[in-house]
Chain A
Amino acid sequence: MSYDLTLNIWRGDANGGDFAEYVVPAEEGQVVLDAVHRAQATMANDLAVRWNCKAGKCGSCSAEINGRPRLMCMTRLSSLPQGEPVTITPLRTFPIIRDLVTDVSFNYERAKQVPAFTPTAEQPQAPFTMHQVDVQRSQEFRKCIECWLCQNVCHVIRDHEENKEHYAGPRFFIRYAELDMHPNDALDRKEFVQDVQGLGYCNITKCCTEVCPESIKITDNAIIALKERVVDAKYDPVVRFFRRRRPRSASSE
């Protein structure tokens, strides 16, 4: 059944912008990206919108729908309040390029700073012999599609631009956790992630977990796990006492 849907889309660039209203025909079962494409095709040919797979796997069509960071291709129109306009804005945390497209290069700069996987002396090169229980732990983190919704919603940089200088963000904390949990990795990143990549800025309010389209438990399984590992390295007097008495490499555990 077709009906008229009102879209309020933010349009503009670095010099300013405002909301533009488009009324488009919508069909049952459609997602927000379908409606945006309809507006682009029929009323706003110059509307800038980034998209690719339309299947929630490329992470391109991230935007804020009614104020909530989501993938446009995975947000069904039927899940939004019926009979009300749908507000669509670009990701707030990143510099605007035009309309719904932002410059997310902050994330790629941060990605370059992640110290690479460093194999242990026991198994210096691939193929590594690993048990499934060791592999599956980090497989959850490998589901990340780099849509940057977690980076966008994190208030540490969303509300404080100045913190971008010393805060990597949730997407990279899952990368650090993945590497730190890898049985064949020998590099100690704990103090680096705490002191240089700003793990301490995270106050675990779990917004990253709430918005993750891949349902990765970013906070519970990665960030808190990393924070606990940092406690092992820096803050736990009991661990420090036993480490002094019985020095042991973490990689051996």
Chain B
Amino acid sequence: MTAATTTPTPPRTGPRAAIAAKTLRKDRWRLEPTAYAILFLLFVGYVAWAAWENADYYARPYLSPLYSPCLASICANVRAGSHIVHPPRVGFIGTWWAVSPALLALIIPGGLRTTCYYYRKAYYRAIWRAPQACGVAEPHRRYTGETRFPLILQNLHRLFFILALLVNGVLTWDAFESFRWPGGWNMGVGSIILTLNAALLWMYSLSCHSCRHIIGGRLKHFSRHPVRFWLWGVVSKLNQSHMQIALVSMVWVALTDLYIRMVAVGWIPNPRFF
């Protein structure tokens, strides 16, 4: 395949219509970016607090998704004295990690969501205001988009997506483990919450634009790959709801942590159904 090498000619320019107003929109265009800004700040604030807390993230048999996979040795402290129902993952990183293990566990999910095409749209509008809404002038004097560091790193979304599939596997295992109680198999409210959490995270990952591309989007010939074309169609349908899935799964992760935290500190009981 040969590569295109045309040299562009500079476009013609001239004065634009002299309209001073930054926007002439009359609808409530501030509503959406403001709502997203509040939601994201609340979520990031809660996750930052919960991650830094380094306590109350384990309520037998539930492990908070913010701390999973729990790679640091410090996690052993949490499980010491309790029935260890999870496979031995502790000590993977070593004992040098002295702060919250959530800071390790959140690198991949955080990277995935930060570089996600949907979240990029949302936070570029809500936080960075480039632009706040369509047809509203942005406040920045210069704009280079995703051509330079650090925003060129958004191209690592594919890598985070692949790594996030491994994290989803671990969180699915956590959901499975949430049915294994000290007295045997059982089910609690947390089991349902963790199972839903894993399902939502799988849906979020599989509806992702990178997934859509890898599955079939990169093909030139759909007709030569009927299975991949069919899968591409399925992922494309999921992809249409990517925004909704992204938001629901994000909020659900925080609520899952909150539930486990409240059980861990004893604010609410930890009932089992059977």
Given contacts A10-B19, A205-B131, contact A224 B117 (CB under 8 A): yes
Contacts of B9 in A (CB 8 A): 109, 112-113
Expressed in whole angstroms, the Cα–Cα distance for A34 and B143 within the complex equals 38
Give B59 Cβ to nearest chain A Cβ, in Å.
Answer: 37
Q: Is the CB of A236 within 8 A of B159?
A: yes
Can you list 17 A-B pairs with a CB-CB distance of less than 8 A? A10-B19, A64-B135, A68-B134, A81-B26, A90-B17, A109-B11, A187-B1, A192-B3, A192-B4, A203-B145, A205-B121, A205-B124, A205-B134, A210-B134, A225-B213, A231-B158, A253-B224
Contacts of A164 in B (CB 8 A): 11, 13
Give B218 Cβ to nearest chain A Cβ, in Å.
Answer: 6
- Whether B43 sits at the interface, judged by CB under 8 Å, is no
Contacts of B220 in A (CB 8 A): 134, 180-183, 185, 250-251, 253
Expressed in whole angstroms, the Cα–Cα distance for A251 and B143 within the complex equals 35
- Whether B155 sits at the interface, judged by CB under 8 Å, is yes
Q: Is the CB of B117 within 8 A of A235?
A: no
- Whether A4 sits at the interface, judged by CB under 8 Å, is no
- Encode contact with B along A4-44: 1 for CB under 8 Å, 0 otherwise: 00000010101011000000000000000000000000000
Q: Is the CB of A192 within 8 A of B223?
A: no
- Whether B60 sits at the interface, judged by CB under 8 Å, is no
Give A152 Cβ to nearest chain B Cβ, in Å.
Answer: 9
7 A-B pairs besides A96-B16, A181-B220 with CB distance below 8 A are: A109-B11, A155-B143, A201-B145, A204-B117, A207-B131, A207-B134, A224-B209
Give B188 Cβ to nearest chain A Cβ, in Å.
Answer: 39
Give A66 Cβ to nearest chain B Cβ, in Å.
Answer: 5
Contacts of A53 in B (CB 8 A): none
- Whether B5 sits at the interface, judged by CB under 8 Å, is yes
Q: Which residues of B contact A (CB under 8 A)?
A: 1-19, 23-27, 117, 120-121, 124-125, 130-131, 134-138, 140, 142-147, 151-152, 155-159, 162, 209-210, 213, 217-225, 229, 239
Expressed in whole angstroms, the Cα–Cα distance for A180 and B220 within the complex equals 8
Q: Is the CB of B221 within 8 A of A201?
A: no
Q: Is the CB of B14 within 8 A of A187?
A: no
Contact partner of A253 (CB less than 8 A), chosen from B152, B158, B219, is B219
Expressed in whole angstroms, the Cα–Cα distance for A82 and B81 within the complex equals 69
Give B40 Cβ to nearest chain A Cβ, in Å.
Answer: 15
Contacts of A181 in B (CB 8 A): 220
Q: Is the CB of B131 within 8 A of A155?
A: yes
Q: Which residue of A lies closest to B157 (CB)?
A: A231
Contact partner of B222 (CB less than 8 A), chosen from A110, A133, A189, A236, is A133
- Whether A75 sits at the interface, judged by CB under 8 Å, is no
Q: Is the CB of B135 within 8 A of A67?
A: yes
Q: Is the CB of A220 within 8 A of B239?
A: yes
